[in-house]
Amino acid sequence: MKFQAEMAFFTLMAIFLASLVASNLIFQKFFTWSPFGWYTFELSVGILPYPITFIATDIISEIYGRKRANQVVLVGFVASIFTLGIVMLADFAPATHWSPINDQVFSQVFGFTFIAVGASMAAYLTAQLIDVQLFHF
């Protein structure tokens, strides 16, 4: 039974991490959404996987407790910073002449990742840690 509980925890953590990292990587594409017909929202596609992070931490909080949920939030922060470092390193590495994605295109897609992810990490930590605290309140 303990093995199954740990596997469930790691699965939830993997879903959390994948959703968080995906949000940080795809944020530069925008779409429109008109749920009411009279107003159109222009939203980043990064908003699509992000709510899953809250569902995952709520489930982890409920089953495994506040401490484990907070640990997952902090691991998510480390994963985001690590991914940011990889993207920055990839941006600095010069593309070969035959690369299907040249330096300009890569920088156009991923060039703002540092600014956006860096800025969003403070909001992320605040929102997630408050969510865990409110869940237990």
Question: What is the distance, to the nearest Å, from the Cα of residue 71 to the centroid of all Cα atoms in its chain?
Answer: 15
Phi-psi region of 37 (alpha: psi -120 to 50; beta: other; left: phi over 0): left
- What domain range is 93 assigned to? 2-136
Six token digits for residue 58: 């709520």
Structural contact between residues 80 and 121, judged by C-beta atoms closer than 8 angstroms = yes
pTM of the model: 0.85
Q: Which of 78, 71, 41 is nearest to 56 (CA)?
A: 71
What is residue 6's predicted lDDT score, i.e. its pLDDT?
92
Give the number of other Cβ atoms within 10 Å of residue 44's Cβ.
15
State the total domains in the chain.
Answer: 1
Quick: pLDDT tens for 37-91: 999 999 999 999 999 999 999 999 999 999 999 999 999 999 988 998 999 999 9
Six token digits for residue 50: 């992000």
